[in-house]
């Protein structure tokens, strides 16, 4: 059996203890100075996204070397390494056997060996991994979501603050922020093209993600981790894991203003009754309320054989705008229907995932750190408060989500690891929505 089980509690504890020890280097943000221009990269979480991120890191800078890798499971690391070994830059994939690490706290062995880490594992582990990476003085690419509960959010905000203090680069996986049409459109909105934003409706309607039936020899933890998207404590539910991309666009368009509160609906009625579908909902609708009137609505669904849509409709005092990133189509009209602005059909559309890494490695080379941590954390908290509201049936304020004590991490990962009961709105105890 794979060693995915090793102690999550040790992991969290050592992240907390690790704080504050790194040395700073002006060019590599704390990595030991060397006499070559290689940037040694460690990949944490060798799944689909992690493998993609490693390939993008290689493409971003000729000095990048993939130097160490960690995954909870041996087979995931092996397949990622095999895939990177077939890439154009395979000569810079130099992960010798002694730099391949297995287990949920394998990041500990990677950090001393590298200059940059790509945090691409299962979301629940990210706050502790981020804390460790910052404490070790590494530059970081951090996939979304960066946290799944209030306690994780608080930890991430502290790590973000420390990363800024240490001059580390921290680039987020909220990839739409690196997409040229979205950047141009949000720039137009912030420039006042459609007046004051008074409402946003965003959709993320798609099919369920894949599952892995239980295999002989798997512990409960192995089984849940293999199907992590479907377990609330690991993913934060699909509002936090997937629709958070659209919530981040809402946060971006609103200029980082926090909603004061939200009210949400959600339920689960299309997930087949198989254990690998875990405990998450299959639909959410969240209404976010901002001070002085604006509202934003997020509608998210993961159900098969239904209409799919991933768009953002932005209403302003002078006009309205439409973002369809999948099409892609981006425009702003006034209320007579006249087009005020549209992203040119032949406008540049560089791969947004590549742009993220180009930005990160350029910042490292230039010695000018960038830190995207605040919006990265806040967009996740918006999603978390939406889930809290849907699960409980209560209105949830920003304040209670941000300062609450909700922690989804089980006390022990040993068998038996019971699956959470699918929440029933209105039946949660009164008091904090975070409980």
Ligand X SMILES: NC(=O)c1ccc[n+]([C@@H]2O[C@H](COP(=O)([O-])OP(=O)(O)OC[C@H]3O[C@@H](n4cnc5c(N)ncnc54)[C@H](O)[C@@H]3O)[C@@H](O)[C@H]2O)c1
Query: Of the two residues 213 and 367, which places its CB atom closer to ligand X in the complex?
Result: 213
Which lies closer to ligand X via its Cβ, residue 53 or residue 197? 53
- Enumerate binding residues for ligand X (CB under 6 A): 44-50, 70-73, 76, 104, 106, 120-123, 125, 143-144, 173, 175, 225, 241
The answer to whether 218 touches 417, Cβ cutoff 8 Å, is no
| CB 146, min distance to ligand X, A | 9
Longest alpha-carbon distance in the chain? 65
Nearer to ligand X, 172 or 397 (CB): 172
For 379-391, give the DSSP string.
HHHHHHHHHHHHH
CB of 36 to ligand X, least distance (A): 28
Nearer to ligand X, 28 or 131 (CB): 131
User: At its nearest, how many Å lie between ligand X and the CB of residue 143?
Assistant: 4
CA distances from 285 to 201, 266, 297, 321, 421 (A): 10, 6, 7, 21, 20
Sheet of 139-142, strands arranged across: 100-102, 64-71, 39-44, 116-119, 139-142, 170-172
Indicate the residue among 49 and 164 with the shorter CB distance to ligand X. 49
CA distance 202 to 309: 9
Nearest distance from C-beta of residue 156 to ligand X, angstroms = 13
| Closest separation in Å from C-beta 249 to ligand X | 13
132 vs 107: CA distance, rounded Å: 8
Smaller CB separation from ligand X, 241 or 400: 241
Q: Which residue is nearest to ligand X (CB)?
A: 47
Between 70 and 189, name the residue whose CB sits nearer to ligand X: 70
From the CB of 204, what's the least distance to ligand X, in Å? Answer: 12
Query: 10 Å Cβ neighbour count for 352?
Result: 18
Distance of closest approach, residue 174 Cβ to ligand X, in angstroms:
7
Residue in the block written with tokens 């959010």: 153
β-partners of residue 309 are 205
The candidate with the shortest Cα–Cα distance to 401, out of 277, 264, 212, 305, is 264
Residue 330: phi and psi, rounded to 5, are -145, 120
């Amino acid at each position: 059996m794979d060693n995915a089980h090793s102690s999550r509690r040790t992991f969290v504890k050592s992240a907390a203890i690790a704080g504050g020890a790194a040395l700073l280097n002006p060019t590599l943000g704390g990595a030991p100075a060397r006499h070559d221009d290689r940037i040694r990269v460690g990949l944490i979480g060798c799944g689909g996204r992690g493998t993609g991120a490693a390939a993008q890191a290689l493409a971003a800078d000729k000095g990048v070397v993939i130097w160490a890798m960690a995954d909870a499971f041996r087979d995931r690391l092996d397949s990622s390494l095999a895939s990177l070994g077939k890439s154009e830059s395979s000569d810079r994939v130099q992960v010798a056997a002694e730099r391949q690490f297995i287990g949920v706290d394998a990041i500990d062995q990677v950090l001393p060996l590298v200059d940059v880490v790509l945090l691409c594992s299962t979301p629940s582990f990210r706050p502790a991994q981020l804390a460790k990476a910052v404490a070790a003085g590494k530059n970081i690419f951090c996939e979304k979501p960066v946290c799944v509960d209030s306690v994780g959010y608080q930890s991430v905000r502290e790590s973000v603050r420390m990363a800024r203090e240490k001059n580390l680069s921290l680039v987020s996986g909220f990839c739409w922020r690196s997409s040229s049409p979205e950047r141009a459109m949000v720039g137009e909105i912030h420039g006042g093209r459609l007046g004051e934003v008074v409402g946003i409706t965003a959709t993320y309607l798609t099919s369920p993600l894949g599952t892995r039936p239980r295999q002989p020899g798997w512990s409960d933890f192995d089984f849940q981790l293999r199907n992590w998207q479907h377990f609330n404590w690991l993913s934060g539910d699909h509002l936090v894991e997937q629709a958070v991309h659209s919530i981040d666009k809402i946060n971006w368009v609103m200029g980082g203003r926090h909603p004061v509160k939200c009210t949400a609906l959600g339920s689960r009625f299309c997930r087949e009754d198989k254990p690998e579908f875990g405990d998450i909902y299959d639909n959410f609708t969240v209404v976010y309320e901002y001070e002085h009137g604006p509202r934003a609505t997020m509608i998210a669904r993961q159900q098969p054989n239904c209409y799919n849509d991933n768009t953002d409709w932005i209403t302003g005092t002078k006009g309205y705008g439409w973002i369809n990133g999948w099409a892609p189509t981006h425009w702003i009209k006034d209320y007579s229907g006249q087009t005020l602005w549209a992203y040119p059909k032949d406008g540049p559309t560089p791969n947004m995932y590549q742009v993220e890494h180009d930005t990160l490695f350029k910042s490292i080379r230039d010695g000018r750190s960038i830190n995207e941590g605040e919006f990265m954390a806040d967009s996740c908290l918006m999603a978390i408060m939406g889930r809290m509201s849907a699960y409980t049936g209560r209105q949830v304020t920003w304040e209670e989500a941000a300062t609450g004590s909700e922690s989804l991490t089980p006390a022990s990962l040993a068998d038996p690891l019971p699956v959470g009961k699918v929440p029933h709105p209105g039946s949660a105890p009164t008091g904090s929505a975070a409980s």
